[in-house]
Each structure stands twice: as structure tokens, then as C-alpha cells.
Amino acid sequence: EAGVAQSPRYKIIEKRQSVAFWCNPISGHATLYWYQQILGQGPKLLIQFQNNGVVDDSQLPKDRFSAERLKGVDSTLKIQPAKLEDSAVYLCASSLEGRQTDTQYFGPGTRLTVL
């Protein structure tokens, strides 16, 4: 079974530029999550999708971050414009149905450096 795929793996941009990340969840998984993990910290949930609907985006900085999950499969996360403090690893995860005891499987992440 293929895992969660993410691209790119690394991205370096200058502040005020825009960037987009892509995620393909495990086949058949209805729930998709985007996390931000700053160095030395645990992952922080940015947004959660159930199929193509948003379940939770309470910690998404909506003035600069946006995300979509068209057709309930792939998802993209965009930052525009980027700030220095956005430097982090962006992790995508998916789970079967989003139940509390469903395992969340993480992708390899995209490491973003904002200069």
C-alpha cells in the first residue's frame, strides 16, 4: 500500500514570495490533515478536510495561508506572502474516516526555508 505522498520535499524562498505544497493521501482515506512543525516543536494542525469539506481550520493563518482539496483526494496548501516565521516542515497526514482512534499516517513532509 502506497503511503502519503508530498512534493516538493524541500523549498527555499525569499520572504514575501508565494509557495505551494501538494499532498496525495493514502487511497481510500477520507480525512486529510495539514500540520506545521517548527524545529524543536510538535506538529500543529493547520487544517483538516473530511472528503472535500473543511472540518477544522481554526489554526490556519487565513490572511496568508489557503488550502483546498478538490474532488476529495489530492490537496494543496499555499502560503502567500511568506514570512520568515513560516520556516518549518509541512506535514500532510491522512486517516481512514477521521475517527478518534483511526491512525493518522504522515507523509515525508516538505521542508520550507524562508530567507
Contacts of 54 (CB under 8 A, 6+ apart): 47, 48
Q: Is 71 in the site for another protein (CB under 8 A)?
A: no
Query: Which of 82, 91, 112, 114 contacts another protein by CB under 8 A?
Result: 91
Grid coordinates given for 28: 481510500
Number of residues that bind another protein (CB under 8 A): 23
Q: Which residues pair with 20 in a beta bridge?
A: 78
The distance of closest approach from Cβ of residue 85 to another protein in the complex, given in angstroms and rounded to an integer, is 17
Distance CA 72, CA 6 (A): 16
Sign of the dihedral through C-alpha 48, 59, 91, 8: positive
- Closer of 65 and 109 to another protein (Cβ): 109
Task: Sketch the per residue contact string, 12 through 41, with another protein: x for CB under 8 A, - otherwise.
Answer: -------------------x--------xx
Q: Which residue has the cell 520550507?
A: 112
**Which residues contact another protein (rule: CB under 8 A)?**
31, 40-45, 48, 55-56, 91, 95, 98-104, 106-109
